Chains A and B, each alone.
Chain A
Amino acid sequence: MSDKASTGISRRELLMMIGAMAGSATSYNAMASMGLVEESRFNGPPKLDGDPKGASVLILGAGIAGMVAAMELRNAGYKVKVLEYNSRAGGRNWSIRGGDVYTELGGATQHCEFDKGLYINPGPWRLPYNHHGILDYARRLGVRVEPFQQLNFNAYVHSTQAFGGKPQRYREIQTDYLGHVSELLSKVTQQGKLNEMVSKEDEASLLDSLRRIGALDRRYRYVPGRESSNRRGFQKPPGGGLDARPIYSKDLTGLSEILKSGLWRSIGAGWSTEFQSTIFEPVGGMGKIGEAFGRELADLIEYERKVVKVHQNRKGVEVTYVDPKTDGNPRTVTADYCLCTIPLSVLSQIDLNINPKMQAAINAVPYAAAIKIGLQFKRRFWEQDEHIYGGISYTDLPIGSIGYPNTDYFQPGKGVLLGGYMFGPNAMKFTAMPPEERVKKAVEYGAQIHAQYPQEFDNGVAVGWHRVPWTLGCFGTWTDELRAQHYDDLCQIDHRFLVAGEHASYIPGWQEGAVTSAIDAITRLHHKVINA
């Protein structure tokens, strides 16, 4: 390119760099979000008008999808029964609290020793404000929610390869990055190099906006001073009295250093719609939603039923289940229709007589690896020593991130944080370890970010989702190709059988997918029933 700016960067390179920032943020989010960015289609509870004439529906699985369906079908006048493998309601909607016992596939058993009131959400932990469906059920069930801090400017971004492995505050990296990029862009603007792209009258506004967005000084420079310190923090913050005079922070990170560090990847972590404010969490743990559903549907749900066979005939559906503890004592129940919300990882192993295309769809979707590790510490040192109140620190260490509790700030006593949240190969590697080893490794790695770890660590639990007996994975990993081939076949009603759940949605890995899928499924089923 001939069009070199004085910085030595061509216009195209510059624009590409800005594009790369957005692009990397996007791919970063794709990783972190486990799914597509889709605003929910939820439109209020379904209106199932018309008389189902005593029709019965057997629902398999008491996760969010199964229980949304059960509640709405019951309200519409159906005879409903839910069969659930576990001895609790909620499925992946689950919190582990002190005193809980969890046995994973392979037999390893963990006894959670958290203090009273402390918990970890091994699965879902946040409810974006635009997931209207799951939030509406939480509201209707009387589940109280509080804000979940996605973005904490005072939390860390950390790379083992940069800044000597010393964690940086998000606000510093974000301010320095935006400052440098804005300065560069103002330079080329002032040099008239954006002529074809920016009109003369827009130029002034562009410069003004860059100065504000980049915290630049009056001469459009990103330099130590009031503007930059107001964003990234002061070397000595302003105070009161004689010793009040602030000292601006002088150690602005150079552009090259930031670019090389890769830490700019964390900047966009909170920008996609699922991570924008406001995000909520249920007070007392995500499991509160499943538990509230369980109470509401207490007379409909039968627990400790392991479904092994679903056969339909002209008159109805026959479902066979066994005792999960012994795999014995088979029993069969019948109904007019069956709505199955069992994850495809498990459902693909169940004896079904359905059309081959639907069976092929059920067999086609692999399930992702993920692991979460909850660590209890003797005190909330991240608040007391480092002024981090909720939010998430990101790291290139295998643990991926550290999530701080978004509740009970300033409380004395112990605290529980999310000491690791991993996907892909790291999740596999960690899940392959015995639980106590996972916890130990999370403490070792986390100590590179918080030196207090070894001193303050108390106990921990670790849930690797490929070892969860009733999902065999975190969520269904559809690809565009797989969806094109199988998605519609999966969501059809096959005579008297249909599926719902996270896996039957375009919001994979989110509870909103389970809610909207269940509502869509029962609405179509209801239509079929009243027109039968």
Chain B
Amino acid sequence: MKKTYVKGLAAVLLMAVAGPVLADNAGPSMTDKPTEAASQMPLGEQVYTTTCQECHMPNAMGAEGAGRYPALAKNPKLAAKQYPMVMVVNGSKAMPSFARQLDADEIAAVVNYVRTHFGNNYKDKVTAAEVKAVLPKTGPYEGH
């Protein structure tokens, strides 16, 4: 394993254990705070933070190891709105298709969100109808 040390994480973990936050909230009646917060977010941001950010990272800078995830931040490829739309619908290489997992509204919203955030500032919008037009009739099997 790589021995990169990031100070503070251990401390954060300890706090989570010792601090009152966890103990007070845990239990059968606890509420799911992050999801509640998420539901107040605009749809595009909601999809980004629960799905895209898994690989493209919270700051949309992507990441690199043995392979890499491209940055969406300041990405000139996003200039053509069809490009990210088709990527999300079809997938590409390691990236799965989201045609089954997300509906047309969600795909349109997240494409528009990414194209207007993270240093991208494109004015034209993708509509759900445009997404529907490229959605396969039977989506590829997501899962296994």
Contacts and interface: CB of A to CB of B under 8 A. Distances in A.
A111 interface: yes
A469 B65 contact: yes
Contact of B1 (A31, A100, A439): A100
A464 interface: yes
A106 B5 contact: no
B30 A345 contact: no
B96 A477 contact: yes
A109 B4 contact: yes
B1 A424 contact: no
Interface stretch (B9-17, B112-120, B127-135): B9-17
A368 B51 contact: no
Contact of B66 (A87, A455, A470): A470
A481 B136 CA distance: 14
Interface string B76-99: 000000000000000111111100
Nearest to A166: B28
Contacts of B50: 425, 428-429, 432
Contacts of A45: none
Given A367-B96, A436-B12, A457-B17, A105 B6 contact: no
Contact of A368 (B2, B13, B27, B144): B144
Contacts of A459: 13-14, 17
A165 interface: yes
Contact of B69 (A432, A451, A472): A472
B3 interface: yes
B75 to A, nearest CB: 17
Nearest to A344: B94
A436 B13 contact: yes
B66 A102 contact: no
B118 to A, nearest CB: 15
Contact of B54 (A348, A454, A467, A470): A467
Contacts of B25: 444
B68 interface: yes
A34 B143 CA distance: 8
Interface string A354-373: 00000000010111110000
A489 interface: no
B66 A306 contact: yes
Contacts of B67: 345-346, 348-349, 469-470, 472
A87 B51 CA distance: 30
Interface residues of A, number: 78
Given A345-B93, A459-B13, A477-B143, A105 B26 contact: no
Of residues B51, B101, B143, B144, which shows the largest number of chain A Cβ atoms within 10 Å of its Cβ? B144
B49 A432 contact: yes
A31 B30 contact: no
A441 B26 CA distance: 9
Contacts of B41: none
Contacts of A470: 65-67
B33 to A, nearest CB: 9
Interface string A68-95: 0000000000000000011110000000
Contact of A472 (B3, B9, B49, B94): B94
A106 B142 CA distance: 25
B73 interface: no
A54 B74 CA distance: 52
Given A110-B9, A349-B68, A425-B51, A440 B27 contact: no
Contacts of A458: 17
Interface in A398-448: 423-425, 428-429, 431-433, 435-437, 439-441, 443-444, 447-448
Contact of B27 (A447, A466, A469, A471): A447
Contact of A165 (B28, B58, B141, B143): B28
Contact of A428 (B12, B14, B17, B54): B54
B65 A428 contact: no
Contacts of A369: 54, 96
Nearest to A348: B93
Nearest to A446: B26
Of residues B1, B63, B66, B97, which shows the largest number of chain A Cβ atoms within 10 Å of its Cβ? B66
A103 B9 contact: no
B2 A106 contact: no
B94 A367 contact: yes
A101 B54 contact: no
B78 to A, nearest CB: 20
Contacts of B54: 369, 428-429, 431-432, 464, 466-467
Q: Which 8 pairs from chain A and chain B are nearest by CB?
A: A469-B65, A345-B94, A346-B67, A366-B96, A105-B63, A454-B26, A109-B6, A470-B66
13 contacts: A85-B65, A85-B66, A101-B4, A105-B63, A111-B10, A324-B65, A363-B92, A366-B94, A368-B96, A433-B34, A467-B63, A472-B66, A477-B143
Interface of A: 30-31, 34-35, 85-88, 100-103, 105-111, 113, 165, 306, 324-325, 327, 342, 344-346, 348-349, 363, 365-369, 423-425, 428-429, 431-433, 435-437, 439-441, 443-444, 447-448, 451, 453-455, 457-460, 464, 466-473, 475, 477, 479, 481, 508-509
Interface of B: 1-6, 9-10, 12-14, 16-17, 22-23, 25-28, 30, 32, 34, 49-51, 53-55, 57-58, 63-69, 91-97, 101, 140-144
